Chain A
Amino acid sequence: MPVDQDEILALKGLVKTYRLGGGFFGRNARSAARVVALDGVSLQVHECESMGIVGESGSGKSTIARTIVRLIEPDEGTVEFRGRDLFSLSTHDAKVTTRRIQMIYQDPYSSLNPLLSVGSAIVEPARVHGFVDRRGADEEARRLLDRVHLPARAAEKRPRELSGGQRQRVSIARALAARPEVLIADEAVSALDVSIQAEILNLFADIKEELALTLIFIAHQLSVVANVAERVAVMYLGRIVEIGPTQEMFFRSAHPYTLGLLDAQPGRHRKDRTQEPALTGEVPSAVDIPSGCRFRTRCAFAEPICEAVDPPPVLVSQEHYSWCHVLPRKGTVDSRQDIASSEPSSIRLESQESWLA
């Protein structure tokens, strides 16, 4: 992917924390612990690319999505859409601009109004933004339903009469009604059965292509993201820890956490099913984030420097960065081998001029 491609979205130094407890009406607000949801996240998304974001629960991936659609206001940092800060827009500009960024949620059961017919639900955004009037509504509903491969008669149904997959198609149609430029899918296929999941993923690929959309695809399943995204960011405890082109990330990863996630993918035909996984332990509390590198408490490669110094981004190869003191220096790991059994000595050494520089 060319580096000079137009930037459509830029997240700059996003920080979001939540107060934990602190007593009734926040009497003890000052002493209350804070949960860190995002801790300095910067990310550029290019026009028409599909950007994948993966991470375990609590990594902050959904907070990013919600910040981009202005459901959450960050404590620090900015979100720029085509160079304009989304959080300093006037009310009118905000309405005009946010229309162009639409989100699809995980649970189509709770994100659709149960009382609205499918037709009214999907046309509503188009009406609000003045793309169609009352007379054009039926035609618009048919057009949108067709786009997501639902029959026109689905317009008469209520959400409860539809299956999970059909409901997710309706959510997509509703998002498309606002004529977006950016589509954010937050775990949009996670609740679906495999056979249905594949169809919705194909639909995402189709509409992205046909409508020249920019797609931000958030999921906890690496295998899903690997098949959708051109670029992937891996998040851990509120930070991006590695980012790069999909193939680079999955086959020449330079961060121990990404390697651990790949190792944990089920269905890898491990020789011994009782062999302990490469990644032990669980994500530490977001209230008490480890010093230095936040991943070091679970990291097999950790060195003394990891406890002392928060790792800076290291350029591994073109567009591929890793926030790790150790692995980029040692060279990348071919993640197709059994990571758990590979000693650090078996890591391929490559010259890392960028790191030495």
Chain B
Amino acid sequence: MSQDAILLEVRGLSVTFPGRLGPVQAATNVSFDLRSGEILGIVGESGSGKSVTVRAILRLVPPPGRIASGEVLFDGRDLLSLNAKEMIRVRGCQIGMVFQNALNALNPVRTIGDQLVEVLRVKRQASASEATESAIELLHQVGISPPRQRMKSYPHHLSGGMRQRVMIALAIAGRPLIMIGDEPTTALDVTVQLQILTLLARLQRELKMSIILVSHDLDVVQEVCDRLVVMYAGHILECGATEEVLSHPRHPYTEALLRSVPKISESAGRGRFQTIGGQPPELDQLPPGCPFQPRCRYARNICDEAPMTLDRPISRHGTACVVEWSGNAG
């Protein structure tokens, strides 16, 4: 598979939840590609739909939410049309997932060794002794030492960073082609956060995986991601190579978000932060067209009719903004 081969195609994905005034769209017409061997970042604030989007890929949208429409094409098949049994094989074996809160995701009354061995026996059909050896190897791979002794630890024996390493070991146990991390470093201290991000980048290279990293933190995604998808109120507003999106944002929201991130600089502490103003919208009270327009300083009348699709092919640096402003001229 060549470097730029497309591994996963998400097309027109919409997820709805029942609301007081009818269904609420948590993700609306979301389309993006994941290329082979890349780390793709999905970034957005709370309520942007980033989490629900990646959960939909694995059909893990919590009820009463449901996938209303769309396709998730992987390996020539639409994951949304698979039956439950086939889907179980996809989860873990082809697409692994790491969640934010490892303490909730791990079984508190079983050792991490047991939990790894179980996954290995199911997903790799390994014998008990093979699985034990592989589990030790996996713990070593994710930087847990000494791995043999740690097999006997329970989740509560481990620090937050170590638990997240165990989660990653579980996610890669089935040798997946894709790993999805949903805010995997959000609950961690900065020094541990960087260790985990570095681990993800190293595993991606060693195992030739692709990774989707979901985060609310622009600084975190730019640390390791090749490309970024920026989401707001369930819509993709911008998508492109990390450096291009950060140096030349083409959507006013991305520009505003970048300005409001505090930075350590020589002039720090003397100025004020630029703010976006207003509130993130309620999903059941979205304006027509572009959901960002009530807070946007470039908003015009045409924003009401914005189709909310990217203006360029999905492989390039696209924006959903229809206004010609300094970042989006010509």
Contacts and interface: CB of A to CB of B under 8 A. Distances in A.
A223 B269 contact: no
Which residue among B193, B194, B263, B274 has the maximum number of chain A CB atoms within 10 Å of its CB?
Answer: B194
Given A227-B268, A229-B269, A267 B46 contact: no
Contacts of A164: 46
Interface in A274-305: 274-277, 279-280, 282-283
A270 B224 CA distance: 9
B217 A246 contact: no
Nearest to B243: A269
Given A195-B260, A195-B275, A273-B201, A264 B218 contact: no
A191 to B, nearest CB: 10
Contact of A195 (B45, B195, B266): B45
Contacts of B162: 282
A286 B105 CA distance: 26
Contact of A205 (B159, B223, B272): B272
A226 B189 contact: no
Contact of A279 (B191, B222, B268): B191
B223 A195 contact: no
Nearest to A269: B222
Contacts of A277: 191, 194-195, 198
A193 interface: yes
B219 interface: yes
Contacts of A193: 45-46, 216, 280
B299 interface: no
B83 interface: no
Interface string A155-181: 000000001111000000000000000
B205 interface: yes
B312 interface: no
B198 A275 contact: yes
Interface of B: 45-46, 159, 161-162, 189-195, 197-198, 201-202, 205, 216-220, 222-224, 256-257, 260-266, 268-269, 271-277, 279-280
27 contacts: A56-B192, A163-B279, A163-B280, A164-B46, A195-B45, A195-B256, A195-B260, A195-B275, A197-B262, A198-B262, A198-B275, A198-B276, A202-B275, A205-B272, A223-B261, A226-B262, A226-B268, A227-B262, A251-B266, A264-B191, A265-B190, A266-B217, A267-B220, A267-B222, A273-B198, A273-B223, A275-B198
